[in-house]
Structure 1
Amino acid sequence: MGQLTQLRPYAGRLAVVVCALVLAAGGWLVFGGGSPQADAFDDACEGVVAQRETKAVLGAGVQADEDEEAFSEGSLDGSKGTLQVGCDLVGEAPHVGEVSVDIYAVPTPKYERADQAGGRGLYGDLNTSRSVPLGRGWHGVFAEEADGDDAVATHVLLDCRKGRNDLLVKVKVELEESTTDNPDRRTAFARIATATAANASEHWRCDAPLGTRLRTVAQPVNEDEHIALAGADGTCAGVPVRSRDVTRAWESARAGAPAEVCEVGDVLGEQRFRLSARYGPYAEAERYGAEQDDYDYEEPTPFQGAKGKLREGYWGTAKCPGSAGSATFAVLDSTGWDRESAARGDYTKADQTYARAALKAFATRSAKAHGCKAPVTP
């Protein structure tokens, strides 16, 4: 009995140690803690997805989306191929929704563009017609997705230190019973992207200058929210007024956005001309799209030289500093004229003259704001 009595304290201590180890390894099974969620973030996009900001949208019960395969390949310096990372996280009721993250090194080498683009275009789609700049020092935009699924996407471009590619971070958010009319919602969605971009910059040693915490995010301009073109002070600033049919503007602030749009039209709200500017990866994507026969009816291929003519307008370029490359600018007639309508006089020489003047004014202001050289336009 004495020997048994001496063993009991050791047995008790051993049981405590074993129990502690079991709880440390899988305590969430007993206490219902957060380990599954921590694992979801650890495994998602090499651990750079912002946890606090994502949980603010999807709730505490965040899990990896089992229907989507996460991937990570390449490196930022290109020594292991071009960096491309993607992951998806989902929330549980009552926060039913999904956060999809895509991270790209930019630019993409020509020989890798087809694989990267897949069937969705280089760097995915950006709905510039329904986008606004983030501001607060961020080179990015908040945009409603063009596919009509009520999703929104925030794009953040990071200007990495010399010797490295830049980083583009895209975060798409889709929630049940959500609306972009709520400024708090818009800001919460965009904060996932900016915080994730900051983590990505540190993780891949991009060392990019970062913006500050977003206070609010504007809502993309609606069709009925046009202003007097003569008083425009954002993306439409400086675009000339023309008689009665080009007196109103649909614009957003510039604020360093890598993609800009200005639409102009008449007092009845009919949009007549659409002006666009694209920088960095978005200019690269536009040139790639032209190479893939998006403009197969044009010779020479648009955006491959310095300036030229489109079927429904004109295009130009500007050289920009650093890795940004050349920016692209375009003006399109929103009414969709073609050669037959031009032959009928629906698109007159006066229209063409105005389109060229509008493009020059728009591109000049935009290029200057981005620190690029004076644009070349038709």
Structure 2
Amino acid sequence: MAVRRIVLRSVVALVAAAAAVAGYLLVHGDFQRWSDDSALDGACDGLLDRNAVRGVLGPGAVEVEDGTSGAGVVGCEVNVHDGGTVEIRILDTAQVGRGPDSLYTGSPGALPVPVGHGWTGLFGADPGHFGWGDPFEDDYEKVTTTLVLPCTGESSAKGLFVSVEASVGRTLDNPAERPGFARIATSTAARASEARQCGRLGRPVTSLGLPVNDDEYEPLGTADGTCSGIPAGRGTAIATETARGGAPHETCRLADADRRKRYVLEADYGPYARERLLRYEEGPMEDIPNGDTPAHDRDRDGRMSWTTAKCSDGVALFTLRPTSEAGERREYPGSDADLAYERAALRAFAERSAKSHGCAAPATS
């Protein structure tokens, strides 16, 4: 008869609700190891699907660190022997912005792609563990899936944010394996939605694209995703983009013919937009995006242009930032020709993004 080994670690509250929004809301709870599935069934307040987790991490012995921080935050960490680890956190979106930045937007070297299939979410990976970094640095792929669910009616939550970060000992090259990562997030979201009396779930995720490497450029004129419709000008010739598909955060990167980055455009919706606007409003700088200024051609230092649009879940935020990677140092605030191009690029980006999300036309100054 197998012997169960249970190791209890003392409980220490690591973070308050604000830090939990950002951090790993894993406020230390019981730490347990079983050879059966009892740990999975009870993890994250019982919100995990055993089969979805096993589908990614395999059949090995399970260790679970399970905890909640209150204030609408739930989290756990699951480790499966010889399979890998997943960290899950579930936030009430009303808590977003009350701690350090926490909403996943990808990594500096790779753009996350939309989860799609009716879900509002992102699927991405850390390039350092995605075949682009030192192959001896880490044996584990780090993959993140995030979902945003609106809550309406009698629910006490405004919305739910579900994040699943997985570290596994294999690559994402096999397209048949990628949906398994999302299934952990979608099954958790479905159970959390039922518990909170939310709704509007997506469909089963049967396919997922690869995160887009930072140097995967294409001619700007052929862009048909997040960079579609943006005119060439002021040295821009090529673009890095992802498909559109209901992602709460979108990015378009424009570069010159020598692959030197010139502009970065970003769109944020729902809790992503609320968090960014709150960060700007609470920061020390003036003349930056805020709820009282719906559109601005450029801040006083010439380092950002922005506009907003009204959506069913609040205000969407669109920004454009010039970069200084074009060989010569970018002079701020730039010339009138720079400003004219930035206006045109941001307008095209924001209009197409807002339309794809069912939002009103972006504001103009």
Which category describes the TM-score, using the shorter chain as reference length?
Answer: 0.7 to 0.9
* Alpha-carbon separation, structure 2, partners of 1:271 and 1:185: 33
C-alpha RMSD of matched pairs (Å): 2.7
* Alpha-carbon separation, structure 1, partners of 2:185 and 2:153: 23
Q: Which has the higher strand share?
A: 2
Query: After the TM superposition, which residues 78-117 of structure 1 pair with which residues of structure 2 at under 5 Å, given as runs?
Result: 82-93=71-82, 95=83, 97-108=84-95, 113-114=97-98, 117=99
- The answer for the alignment partner of 1:307 in structure 2 is 295
- The answer for the alignment partner of 1:157 in structure 2 is 148
Contact residue 318 and residue 372 of structure 1 kept, 8 A: yes
* Alpha-carbon separation, structure 1, partners of 2:290 and 2:36: 46
- The answer for the alignment partner of 1:197 in structure 2 is 189
* Alpha-carbon separation, structure 1, partners of 2:291 and 2:194: 35
Q: Out of 342, 346, 350, which is 2:337 matched to?
A: 350
Q: What one-letter code is carried by the residue in structure 1 that aligns with 2:105?
A: L
Q: What one-letter code is carried by the residue in structure 2 that aligns with 1:360?
A: R
Q: 1:336 to 1:266 in 2, by over 3 A?
A: closer
SS of residue in 2 equivalent to 1:183: coil
Return the offset for 1:163: 4.1
Q: What TM-score results when the alignment is normalised by the length of structure 1?
A: 0.76
Return the offset for 1:138: 1.1
Q: What one-letter code is carried by the residue in structure 1 that aligns with 2:337?
A: A
SS of residue in 2 equivalent to 1:182: coil
Query: After the TM superposition, which residues 31-50 of structure 1 pair with which residues of structure 2 at under 5 Å, given as runs?
Result: 37-50=36-49
Q: 1:37 to 1:289 in 2, by over 3 A?
A: farther
* Alpha-carbon separation, structure 2, partners of 1:287 and 1:263: 21
Q: 1:291 to 1:144 in 2, by over 3 A?
A: farther
Return the offset for 1:62: 5.0
- The answer for the alignment partner of 1:373 in structure 2 is 360
- The answer for the alignment partner of 1:18 in structure 2 is none
- The answer for the alignment partner of 2:260 in structure 1 is 270
Query: After the TM superposition, which residues 276-315 of structure 1 pair with which residues of structure 2 at under 5 Å, given as runs?
Result: 276-293=266-283, 296=284, 298-305=285-292, 306-308=294-296, 309-310=298-299, 311=301, 312-315=303-306
Q: 1:28 to 1:201 in 2, by over 3 A?
A: farther
Q: What TM-score results when the alignment is normalised by the length of structure 2?
A: 0.78
**Are 1:236 and 2:227 an aligned pair?**
yes
Contact residue 86 and residue 103 of structure 1 kept, 8 A: yes
- The answer for the alignment partner of 2:348 in structure 1 is 361
**Are 1:127 and 2:106 an aligned pair?**
yes
- The answer for the alignment partner of 1:19 in structure 2 is none
Q: What one-letter code is carried by the residue in structure 2 that aligns with 1:258?
A: P
Aligned length: 317
CA deviations 1:170-219 (Å, max 9, x no partner) are: 101112x332333334322122111211222122221x222222222111
Q: Out of 314, 319, 323, which is 1:330 matched to?
A: 319
CA deviations 1:82-118 (Å, max 9, x no partner) are: 411111100102x1x2100010112338xxx43xx2x
Contact residue 262 and residue 325 of structure 2 kept, 8 A: no
Q: 1:181 to 1:267 in 2, by over 3 A?
A: farther
Contact residue 58 and residue 91 of structure 1 kept, 8 A: yes
SS of residue in 1 equivalent to 2:176: helix
Q: 1:54 to 1:90 in 2, by over 3 A?
A: same
Q: 1:336 to 1:226 in 2, by over 3 A?
A: closer
* Alpha-carbon separation, structure 2, partners of 1:251 and 1:156: 20
Identity level (%): 36
Q: 1:281 to 1:160 in 2, by over 3 A?
A: same
Q: 1:92 to 1:160 in 2, by over 3 A?
A: same
* Alpha-carbon separation, structure 1, partners of 2:196 and 2:325: 44
Q: Out of 243, 255, 258, which is 2:245 matched to?
A: 255
Return the offset for 1:233: 1.5
Q: Out of 159, 162, 165, which is 1:166 matched to?
A: 159
Contact residue 158 and residue 166 of structure 1 kept, 8 A: yes
Q: Out of 120, 125, 139, which is 1:139 matched to?
A: 120
Q: 1:52 to 1:369 in 2, by over 3 A?
A: same
Return the offset for 1:222: 1.8
Return the offset for 1:257: 0.9
Q: 1:90 to 1:174 in 2, by over 3 A?
A: same
Tell me whether 220-229 or 166-175 shows the greater mean CA deviation: 220-229
Q: What one-letter code is carried by the residue in structure 1 that aligns with 2:207?
A: T
Return the offset for 1:358: 0.6
Contact residue 70 and residue 87 of structure 1 kept, 8 A: yes
* Alpha-carbon separation, structure 2, partners of 1:264 and 1:37: 51
Runs of 5+ unmatched residues, structure 1: 1-26, 74-81
Runs of 5+ unmatched residues, structure 2: 5-32, 130-137
